C-alpha cells in the first residue's frame, strides 16, 4: 500500500510538530495517500539514554547537541557584543515538540487578530482559538485552580504538583500586591498579570506528551494510506514549469537522500506538497528549490521570485536576574542542581526512583510553573506615559517597506496599552541554568550552599527582525542565521525598563521582598544589588547577557506579496499552484510567549484549510 509506493496524493516535508498534525488530520480521509519525510530518526530507534531524556519531563536539555538536535548557531550578534547564540531545534520525528521545555501557553488574541488584519482572512481569533482547543486536553489541574476548558484534543496538558507550593504562592501574592491578578489560566485568559503555566505531560504515565504520542499514535501509524519515512532529508521540491511566464509552477514531487544508503530518490506528488520543516528548515528547502529572492538564487534554477523567503525571523530576546534568598526561605531547587553538577548518584538516583515509581519529584515536570505577562512599567503613571511618548517620538518611522510600518504600528499599540503585555516574566526557585551563549546546562559549582530565586525577563513583542538563508553551493553550502537581536532601538529601551522593574519593583514588593537576602549574591557576571537603577547599566547588562529564547517564527510569513509575504491565507507559496508551508514560519507576528501551543494550532488550522482545498479541487 502507501508504505511501498513512491507516488502519493500529498507529500509532507518534515515530520515535526506541525508536520505530524497535518499528516494525522489529512490521513483521516482514507482516499488520500500521504507521505511524511523526516530527516531525523524515529524516537523508537533512539538509544535508551536519549529516549529516556526525551520522555522525562525535566531532562530535555540532555537532548541538546545530540543527534536529535540540529544544533544551530547564529552569526555573531553585533548588538550582543559579537556573541554567537545557540539555537536548539528538534531533528527527529516530532521535531521540537520532543526537545522543548514543555511550556504550553496560548497565543494572545491581539496577535492572532493582528495576523488577520494583515490580510489573512480566515485567521481571525474565533476560528483560530477553536483550532487551538482541538489540539489539547487538560489532563490534570489542582483543585484550587480551575482549568476550565472545553478542549478535547490529543495532546495531554497537565499542571505540575508544585504549581501551588510555597514559591509559586509567593510569586502570585507578589503580583497581586502590585494590583494585578496573581494566578490566571494562560489557556483561557487574555489579561495581564500572574500566570500558572501547564506542561505538555501525560500525568497518567508521567511522560512528555508530544506530536508523536499524541498525533502519530499506533492507530494512526497503521493507516494503509499513511507512510512515514525517517532518515530522509529532502533536498528540493520538483516542479513542472508553467506554459507561460505568468503561470504558477506546479509541484510534482520531491528529491530526497536516504541517510542509511546514501541513495538519492524521488517521491511523486499527485496533488500537493506541504513543507513543514520549521522556521529554519522551510525557507532552506524553498531556496534550494528555486523559490526566494531572485538576487540570491542561481538564475538558471529560479522557479518563483519571492523575496520574503527567509526574512522576518523573529525571536524573543531574554535575560535573567537572580537573587540570593534568606536562610529561612522556603526550599529552592539549588541543592538538587548542586548534586547534579557533582553527579551525586545517591541524590540523582533517589530523585529518579521517585519519578519512575510515582511520577513525582523534580524529574516529573519542567520545573517552571509561575510566570507573568506585564505591561510597560510605569504606564499607569503620568511619568511613565511621558517616558513612553518620548521613546516613541524619538524613534524614526521604519523605511523597510509596508510590513515594517504595519509591524511597528502593531507593537506601538501594544506598548501603549495597559491591558497588553510587553514583558514576559518567568519565575523559578533556583540558580540560572544557561550561559551567555544561550547554552542550557547546570550552574557552576562555586563551593557555596547559597540558594536563589531567578526571574527571567523576555521582550514579548520584539521589533528587531532577522533572516535565515542558504549561502554557498555544493559542499560549501551552509545555513546562515542572523536574528539581528536588538537591531531596532526600541527593543533595548523597552527591555531595559522591564529588567529594571525586576529589581526595583518585583524584588521590593512583599512577600517576595522579605525572602531576599539584603545585599545578597547575584548570578555570575550580574551587576551588584541596586546597580540596575541606572538604565545605562541595565542596557549594558542586557547586551552582555541576552540570549534568544527557542521561539523562532516568521521566515515564510503569511502576508500579502507586496508586504514581502511568502504564503497566502491558504498557506500556498506565491508563484506556485500547489506548494504550501504549514509550521511556525508562517506566523507574521510572533506570539508573546512560548510558541508551542501556537504551532500546534497553526497546524490544526492549516490542516482544515488544506483538507477543504483538496475536497474542492
pLDDT digits (tens, 9 = 90+) for 450-472: 889 999 999 999 999 999 999 98
Tell me the average pLDDT of the chain.
91
Percentage of the chain modeled with pLDDT above 70: 94
pLDDT digits (tens, 9 = 90+) for 288-342: 999 999 999 976 689 999 999 999 999 999 999 999 999 999 888 878 877 777 7
Four-CA torsion 122, 128, 134, 138, nearest 10 degrees: 180
Average pLDDT score over residue span 129-155:
83
Write down the pLDDT at residue 480.
Answer: 98
Residue 245, pLDDT score: 65
Taking only the tens place, the pLDDT of each residue in 550-586 is 999 999 999 999 999 999 999 999 999 999 999 999 9
pLDDT given at position 434: 67
Beta strands in 299-403 (DSSP E): 304-305, 311-313, 317-324, 370-374
**Cα separation of 266 and 256, whole Å?**
6
Q: What is the mean pLDDT of residues 406-420?
A: 95
Q: Which residues contact 393 (CB under 8 A, 6 or more apart)?
A: none
Residues linked to residue 77 through DSSP beta bridges, in sequence order = 83
Between 312 and 358, whose confidence is greater?
312
Q: What's residue 28's pLDDT? A: 97
Looking at residue 185, its pLDDT comes to 77
pTM for the whole structure? 0.96
The upper half-sphere exposure of residue 116, i.e. CA atoms within 13 Å in the direction of its Cβ, equals 15
Q: What is the 3-state secondary structure (H, E, C) of 399-435?
A: CCCHHHHHHHHHHHHHHCCCCCCCEEEEEECCCCCEC
Of the listed ranges 187-191, 475-479, 504-508, the one predicted with least confidence:
187-191
Give pLDDT, residue 362. 86
Please determine, for residue 146, whether its predicted confidence score (pLDDT) is greater than 60: no
User: Which grid cell is 419?
Assistant: 491591558
**Bigger pLDDT: 147 vs 479:** 479
Q: Which three cell numbers stand for residue 23?
A: 499528516
Residue 445 has pLDDT above 60, yes or no: no
Which residues make beta-bridge pairs with 565? none
Instruction: State the pLDDT confidence band at 156, using cuts at 50, 70 and 90.
Output: very high
Q: What is the mean pLDDT of residues 112-134?
A: 97
Range with the poorest average pLDDT among 23-37, 267-281, 295-309, 372-386:
295-309
Detail the DSSP E strand segments found in 222-310.
Answer: 226-230, 232-240, 250-258, 264-275, 291-292, 304-305
Q: What is the mean pLDDT of residues 101-111?
A: 94
Give the residue ranges of the annotated binding site.
Answer: 234, 595-596
Residue 259 near residue 231, CB atoms below 8 Å: yes
Nine-digit cell string for 443: 550552574
Say if CB 586 and CB 607 are below 8 A apart.
no
Asked if residue 149 has pLDDT above 70, the reply is: no
pLDDT tops 60 at residue 536: yes
Evaluate if residue 448 carries a pLDDT over 90: no
Binding-site residue set for FAD: 234, 595-596
pLDDT tens per residue, range 589-613: 999 999 999 999 999 999 999 999 9
Select the more confidently predicted residue: 247 or 563: 563
Amino acid at each position: 500500500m502507501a508504505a511501498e509506493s513512491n507516488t502519493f496524493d500529498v507529500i509532507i516535508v518534515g515530520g515535526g510538530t506541525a508536520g505530524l498534525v497535518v499528516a494525522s488530520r489529512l490521513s483521516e480521509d482514507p482516499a488520500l495517500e500521504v507521505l511524511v519525510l523526516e530527516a531525523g530518526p524515529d524516537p523508537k530507534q533512539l538509544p535508551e539514554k536519549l529516549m529516556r531524556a526525551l520522555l522525562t519531563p525535566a531532562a530535555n536539555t540532555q537532548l541538546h547537541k545530540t543527534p536529535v538536535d540540529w544544533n544551530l548557531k547564529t552569526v555573531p550578534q553585533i548588538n550582543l557584543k559579537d556573541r554567537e547564540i545557540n539555537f536548539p531545534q528538534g531533528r527527529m520525528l516530532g521535531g521540537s515538540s520532543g526537545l522543548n521545555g514543555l511550556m504550553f501557553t496560548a497565543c494572545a488574541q491581539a496577535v492572532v487578530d493582528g495576523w488577520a488584519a494583515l490580510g489573512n482572512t480566515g485567521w481571525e481569533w474565533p476560528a483560530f482559538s477553536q483550532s487551538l482547543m482541538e489540539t489539547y486536553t487538560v489532563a490534570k489541574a489542582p483543585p484550587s485552580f480551575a482549568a476550565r476548558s472545553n478542549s478535547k484534543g490529543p495532546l495531554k496538558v497537565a499542571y505540575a504538583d508544585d504549581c501551588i507550593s510555597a514559591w509559586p504562592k509567593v510569586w502570585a501574592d507578589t503580583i497581586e500586591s502590585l494590583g494585578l491578578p496573581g494566578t490566571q489560566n494562560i489557556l483561557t485568559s487574555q489579561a495581564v498579570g500572574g500566570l500558572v503555566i501547564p506542561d505538555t505531560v501525560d500525568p497518567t504515565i508521567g511522560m512528555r506528551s508530544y506530536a508523536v504520542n499524541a498525533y502519530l499514535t499506533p492507530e494512526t501509524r497503521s493507516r494503509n494510506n499513511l507512510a512515514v519515512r525517517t532518515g530522509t532529508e529532502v533536498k528540493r521540491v520538483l516542479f513542472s514549469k508553467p506554459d507561460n511566464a505568468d503561470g504558477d509552477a506546479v509541484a510534482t514531487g520531491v528529491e530526497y537522500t536516504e541517510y542509511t544508503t546514501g541513495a538519492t530518490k524521488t517521491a511523486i506528488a499527485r496533488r500537493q506538497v506541504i513543507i513543514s520543516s520549521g522556521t529554519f528548515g522551510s525557507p532552506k528547502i524553498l531556496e534550494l528549490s528555486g523559490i526566494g529572492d531572485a538576487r540570491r538564487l542561481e538564475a538558471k534554477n529560479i522557479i518563483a521570485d519571492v523575496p520574503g523567503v527567509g526574512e522576518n525571523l523573529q525571536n524573543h530576546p531574554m535575560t535573567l536576574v537572580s537573587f540570593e534568598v534568606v536562610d529561612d526561605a522556603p526550599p529552592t531547587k539549588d541543592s538538587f542542581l548542586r548534586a547534579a553538577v557533582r553527579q551525586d548518584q545517591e541524590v540523582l538516583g533517589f530523585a529518579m526512583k521517585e519519578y519512575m515509581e510515582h511520577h513525582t519529584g523534580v524529574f516529573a515536570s519542567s520545573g517552571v510553573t509561575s510566570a507573568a505577562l506585564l505591561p510597560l512599567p510605569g504606564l499607569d503613571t503620568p511619568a511613565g506615559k511621558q517616558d513612553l511618548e518620548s521613546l516613541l517620538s524619538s524613534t524614526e518611522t521604519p523605511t523597510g517597506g509596508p510590513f515594517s510600518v504595519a509591524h511597528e504600528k502593531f507593537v506601538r499599540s501594544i506598548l501603549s496599552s495597559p491591558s497588553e503585555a510587553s514583558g514576559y516574566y518567568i519565575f523559578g526557585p533556583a540558580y540560572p541554568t544557561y550561559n551567555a551563549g544561550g547554552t542550557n546546562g547546570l550552574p557552576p559549582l562555586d563551593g557555596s550552599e547559597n540558594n536563589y530565586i531567578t526571574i527571567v525577563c523576555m521582550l514579548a513583542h520584539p521589533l528587531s527582525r532577522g533572516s535565515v538563508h542558504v549561502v554557498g553551493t555544493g559542499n560549501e553550502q551552509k545555513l546562515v542565521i542572523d536574528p539581528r537581536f536588538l537591531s531596532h532601538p526600541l527593543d533595548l529601551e523597552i527591555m531595559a525598563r522591564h529588567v529594571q522593574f525586576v529589581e526595583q519593583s518585583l524584588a521590593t514588593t512583599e512577600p517576595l521582598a522579605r525572602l531576599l537576602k539584603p545585599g545578597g549574591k547575584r548570578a555570575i557576571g550580574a551587576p551588584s544589588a541596586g546597580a540596575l537603577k541606572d538604565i545605562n547599566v541595565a542596557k549594558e547588562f542586557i547586551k552582555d547577557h541576552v540570549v534568544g529564547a527557542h521561539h523562532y517564527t516568521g521566515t515564510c510569513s503569511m502576508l500579502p506579496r507586496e508586504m514581502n509575504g511568502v504564503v497566502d491565507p491558504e498557506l500556498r507559496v506565491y508563484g506556485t499552484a500547489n506548494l504550501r508551508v504549514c509550521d511556525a514560519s508562517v506566523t507574521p507576528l510572533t506570539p508573546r510567549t512560548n510558541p508551542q501551543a501556537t504551532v500546534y494550532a497553526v497546524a490544526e488550522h492549516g490542516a482544515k484549510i488544506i483538507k477543504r482545498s483538496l475536497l474542492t479541487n
